[in-house]
Structure formats: C-alpha cells, structure tokens
Amino acid sequence: MYSVFVKEIRSFLSSLIAYVVIIVFLMAIGLFMWVFPGYNVFDGGYANMDSLFSIAPWVFIFLISAITMRSFSEEKKSGTIELLTTKPLTDWQIVLAKYFASIVLVLFSLIPTIIFYVSVYKLSNPVGNLDTGAIMGSYIGLFFLGAVYASIGIFASAVTDNQIVSFLVSMFLCFFLYQAFSLLSDFKLFGSYDRLIEWFSIETHYKNISVGVVDSRDVLYFISVIVIFLWGSKTVFGSRKW
C-alpha cells in the first residue's frame, strides 16, 4: 500500500497538478485575504483570518475535485487498473493509498498559509493580539473539510472513467454536502426536524470547530462521512467483479 501511496504522490508532483493546485489555492486565498476590498484584513480592521476560513471551503470544492478526478478515472481509461488489481493488493489498499495521497496534497496546500497567520500576528496591535485558539480550530476544521472532500472526490472518480464527469460529480456532491442541507433547513419547512437536517451539512460542523471548540461529535461526523464515501468507493471499485 505504501508503494502505491508513494507512486500517487510522485505522479502528482511530476504531472504539475500538485503545483497548479497549491499555487491556485494560495493565490485565491491570498487575494481574498489581502487585496479584494470588503474581504481583506485591513478593511475588516480586526486581526483575524475569517476571510481565509470562509473562502477556503469554496476554493477547495474546485481544487480537491481537480486533484482527485483522475485517481481512478485515468487508471480505468488507460487500463492500468488491470495491472494494479492483478498485483498482490487488496481493493482497500488501493483506495486508501489514493485517498491518503490526496490528503497529503491538501495538507501541503494548507501549510504555506501559516505565512498568512504570521503576517496577521505581526500586524495586530499590540503584536500577537489574535485568537490563536480559534485559528487552530479553524485549521483543524479546514483539514477535516478537505479530508471529506477528498473522499467524495475519490468516490466520484471511482464511479466513472471520464475525468470531466468525475470532476463535475465531485463538485456537485461537495457543494451539496457542504451547504445544501443547511440551506434546506433555512426554509423552516420541517418544524422540529430542521435542526436534524442542518446537522447533515458540513458547514454546520465546520463552523462549530472554527470557533475553536473541537467537539468529538463534529469529529465523529467528519470521520463517518469519510468512511461512508471511502466504503462507497471501495464498493464501486470492486463492482468490476459483479
């Protein structure tokens, strides 16, 4: 499994995808945080990173879908999947190796934003006057969010051998899970069930963690969604045998 994981990382690095994703992510986030009027830190007047954490989930929808769209689709199209599945590897090993490789890429794109944190830290008056706890929590939330998106992306990629279809399906599912449920609950159509419906949306849990409170219920939610989609990927991937 480790060898497949290394191979995935290498293919990200050699095919430019990794660089493009990281650069686009940092550029988009950087522009919102420092340049665009109405969003930037200076206009806000508060030493915080709220603009980063409110924009990142949307940027991730595109970028993580782009990272994961080829993971199974391309192998299916080029037939290398036959090579991989006739090696002594289980389906779980292949799915997990691809999943963890995507997660590592998500981590790599998050790490450079520490520069933004340091900048805000230095800019604040007095220096260091910012809510580090909330920012830490937001980072953890963002990482979980990325991990969920990656599992959705892997699933979408396992469903089809067409990268574009995989990309679109993944974006739709990510958006749907991120906000659709909380939007639905805003209609207040279901009375006491509204809270339950809202509970299904990633946004609710992401915002909970962003406050700086890492609640085990939120973590459990993220982990269960990841497990569900990875299990789904494994099932779809194994469906060649049906």
Partner 1 sequence: MSIIVENLSKHYGTQKAVDAISFEAKAGQVLGFLGPNGAGKSTTMKMLTCYIPPTSGTATVCGFSIIDKPLEVRKLIGYLPELNPLYTDMFVREYLRFMAQIHGLGKGAKKRCEEMISNVGLTPEAHKKIGQLSKGYKQRVGLAQSMLHNPKVLILDEPTSGLDPNQIVDIRNLIKEIGRDRTVILSTHIMQEVQAMCDRVIIINQGKIVADDKTENLGKQEIEEYIIIVEFGKEINAELLKKISGVKSITALPNNQYRLICDKDIREQINKTAYENNMNLLGLSLEKQKLEDVFKTLTKKTDKDV
Q: Which residues bind partner 1 (CB under 8 A)?
A: 2-4, 6-7, 10-11, 14-15, 78-83, 85-90, 240-241
Q: Which is nearer to partner 1, 82 or 186 (CB)?
A: 82
Q: How far is the CB of 9 from partner 1 (least distance, A)?
A: 12
Q: How far is the CB of 185 from partner 1 (least distance, A)?
A: 45
Q: Which is nearer to partner 1, 68 or 210 (CB)?
A: 68
Q: Which two tokens stand for residue 14?
A: 């050699």
What are the distances in angstroms from CA 109 to CA 2, 144, 223, 239, 241?
A: 22, 14, 21, 33, 37
Q: Which is nearer to partner 1, 2 or 187 (CB)?
A: 2
What are the distances in angstroms from CA 241 to CA 44, 54, 91, 230?
A: 56, 43, 11, 18
Q: Identify the residue whose tokens are 């998050």.
A: 110
Dist. CA 204–CA 178, nearest whole Å? 8
Q: Identify the residue whose tokens are 């981590």.
A: 107
Q: Which is nearer to partner 1, 78 or 132 (CB)?
A: 78
Q: How far is the CB of 3 from partner 1 (least distance, A)?
A: 4
Q: How far is the CB of 188 from partner 1 (least distance, A)?
A: 50
